[in-house]
Structures are given as C-alpha cells and as structure tokens.
Amino acid sequence: MTQQTPDQYRVFGNPIEHSRSPDIHHIFAEKSQQSIDYQKQLVDIEDFSNAVSGFIHQGGKGANVTVPFKEQALIIADELTERASLAGAVNTLSFREGKIFGDNTDGEGLVQDLIANNVILKQSRILLLGAGGAARGVLLPLLAQTPHSIVVANRTVSKAEILCQHFADKRLSACGFQDLEQQQFDVIINATSASLSGSLPPIPISLISQNVVCYDMVYGKDLTPFLRWAKENGAIKVIDGLGMLVGQAAVSFEVWRGIAPEVRSVIDSLRASLK
Ligand code: ATR
C-alpha cells in the first residue's frame, strides 16, 4: 500500500528562525491524527507574493503569515473573513478552488485563551492598551464576546481615536493613558509593543486592584514588565501571551483541517521549553 503524502503548510516571515509554529502544528496533527507537513520559510521583504505563488504551485494547502507580511497577505487574498478585513491583516491563508482565502485568527486565539483562564468576558469591562496592529487584530473577536464597552487607550490618543472610528461600534471609546485615572476595569490587555523593549505603558496604578486580570500579548520565560508591575501592585491574575500564540495556531489548524486541537498540553510543553 502506498503512503499518502502529507498535506503541506508553511509559515512565512522575516525573521522566522525562532518561530514555534512548526512544532505547534506538528503536535496538533499528531494528536488529532492528521497527516501534515509544516515548515518555516524565510522570505525576502520584496518577495512575499512570489513565495506564496511558488508554494501554491507546489501543492501547498495553507500558510501562516507573520511579521512583516500580514498586510501584504491581506492584499493578495481573493477572499477575506470579516475578522481579517477589520483587522487589516491576515495571519492564515488557505489555498482551495484556485483561490487564496485570508483569515486572521489572532483575536480568536486571545479570546479562547482568556476563556481558558476563566475570564468571563461577558461580564467584563475591558481596557485595551495600544492602537497598533496588535490591538486592531483582536478588537472584533473581543467585541463579539462582550456586551460592555471596550476602552482603547494609547500613548498617541489620535491613533486610538482613528482605530475606534474604523470599527464604528458604539461600545468602543478612545482615550489617553492619563484619562484612565478615575476608571475601573475587570480586564486590562496590553497590546502595546512596550514589553518588547523592556518597558511598560505609563498607566495609573489606580487601575490595579484585587479584581483586575492583566493580560500581555507578549510572552517570555519571565513575566513582562507590565505583568510584573501588575502583580506587584495586587492584580488578582496575570497572564502572558503564550496561550494566545498556541490559541491562534489552533484556530488556524481548525480553519484548515476542520478539527479544533487540544491546546492545554501544548501550552504547558512550550512553557517548559522557554529559555
Ligand atoms: P504592533 O503591530 O505590535 O501593534 P505597532 O503597530 O508599531 O506594533 O504599534 C505599537 C503600539 O505600541 C502603539 O500603540 C504604540 O503607541 P503609539 O501609537 O503612541 O506609538 C505602543 N507603544 C510602543 N511602545 C510603547 C511604550 N513604551 N509605552 C506605551 N505605548 C507604547
């Protein structure tokens, strides 16, 4: 009997060497008895579209897209999901019926991770810090989960205002960090890139109480500056973005394979391997 060739997937990025996506997807595939081969591919900045065409030509079924190609992936897609269109970025491509389908699973990955951490979004007032690509990418799935308002706070207030206008949803409002002094939230999500440069967004300490859960989209071996600060000042729970990383991969896997993989053990094993 001949063995079937595994379906081919890729993650395109630059840089790409540290991507955990191949490991994550191979574990998903093994656990759900799917036959896939998933590789990372370093792509020159000018060459994204050619790299995708070449992969489709080889019979590729789908791809993840990471920095700095998520906006280009949106442009080359023939069809987009609403969440990708509003996010202005694509992290998941599917190649079927001679077409390129673009999706964005980042927000759903975040929502699933919050729920897995027992955060009841339907009852939560949410503060989203940041108004760049990371914040924009998660707003629609967050809005889908909450009847309450979501406040978007950013260092540059005008960027938060533009972001809220873009979504045109009455539950959204924009402000600067200094405007947060008198406000209270149940969940604070850090979607700024401050953690990547070892800093934390200058938000008032009055936001942190025993009732607040703090989430950072960045993860690492140690707590990010924001999570360390929140914990030291009494936040009930702090959560980093490792679960979101695995969650967005799980949603991509489901988009491609129609099966929602189990994520908890994958998050635990990645956590154990962090250096
Ligand atoms: P990303 O795709 O990661 O969102 P981005 O689009 O460059 O990257 O956006 C970075 C976000 O982090 C912005 O909201 C930025 O604030 P500004 O719009 O005022 O630049 C925010 N940010 C970066 N460093 C920050 C810091 N040290 N303190 C507060 N906000 C910071």
What's the CA angle centered on 231, arms 225 and 235, to 5 degrees? 125
91 labeled part of a ligand binding site: yes
Beta strands in 81-191 (DSSP E): 92-96, 99-103, 126-129, 150-153, 172-175, 187-190
Extract the runs of DSSP E, i.e. beta strands, from the chain.
7-13, 36-42, 62-65, 79-80, 92-96, 99-103, 126-129, 150-153, 172-175, 187-190, 213-216, 237-239
Nearest partner of 250 among 143, 91, 133, 142, judged by Cα = 91
pTM greater than 0.90: yes
Q: Is 155 annotated as a binding residue?
A: yes
DSSP state of 35: -
- Compute the distance from residue 128 Cα to the ligand 1 centre, in Å: 12
Q: What is the pLDDT, as a whole number, of residue 147?
A: 87
| pLDDT at site 3 | 65
Annotated catalytic residue 237: no
Q: Which pLDDT belongs to residue 7?
A: 98
Which residues are near ligand 1 (CB < 6 Å)? 130-135, 154-156, 159, 192-194, 199, 201
Distance in Å, CA 226 to ligand 1 centroid: 14
The architecture (CATH level 2) of 107-240 comes to 3-Layer(aba) Sandwich (3.40)
What is the ipTM for the molecules in this complex? 0.98
The per-residue pLDDT for 275 is 75
Q: What does the pLDDT profile of the chain (275 residues) look like in tens digits?
A: 556 799 999 999 999 999 999 999 999 999 999 999 999 999 999 999 999 999 999 999 999 999 999 999 999 999 999 999 999 999 999 999 999 999 999 999 999 999 999 999 999 999 999 999 999 999 999 999 998 999 999 999 999 999 999 999 999 999 999 999 999 999 999 999 999 999 999 999 999 999 999 999 999 999 999 999 999 999 999 999 999 999 999 999 999 999 999 999 999 999 999 97
Q: Which CATH superfamily is domain 7-104+245-273 in?
A: Leucine Dehydrogenase, chain A, domain 1 (3.40.50.10860)
pLDDT at 202: 96
Q: What is the largest CA-CA distance in the chain?
A: 70
At 228 the pLDDT is 98
- State in Å: Cα 133 to ligand 1 middle: 9
Domains 7-104+245-273 and 107-240 share a fold: yes
Q: What is the pLDDT of residue 2?
A: 56
Nearest 5°: CA angle at 104, between 101 and 105? 120
Alpha-carbon distance of 155 to 190, in angstroms, equals 12
Is 19 marked as a binding-site residue? yes
| Cα 190 to ligand 1 centroid, rounded to whole Å | 10
Spell out the domain ranges in the chain.
Answer: 7-104+245-273, 107-240
Between CA 216 and CA 224 the distance in angstroms is 7
Q: Which atom of ligand 1 is nearest to the CA of 134?
A: 4
Concatenated DSSP letters of 130-157: --SHHHHHHHHHHHHH-SS-EEEE-SSH
Q: Which of 40, 70, 122, 231 is catalytic?
A: 70
Q: What does each C-alpha distance from 153 to 199, 227, 231, 271 come to in angstroms?
A: 16, 17, 20, 30
Query: Quick one: pLDDT at residue 1?
Result: 55
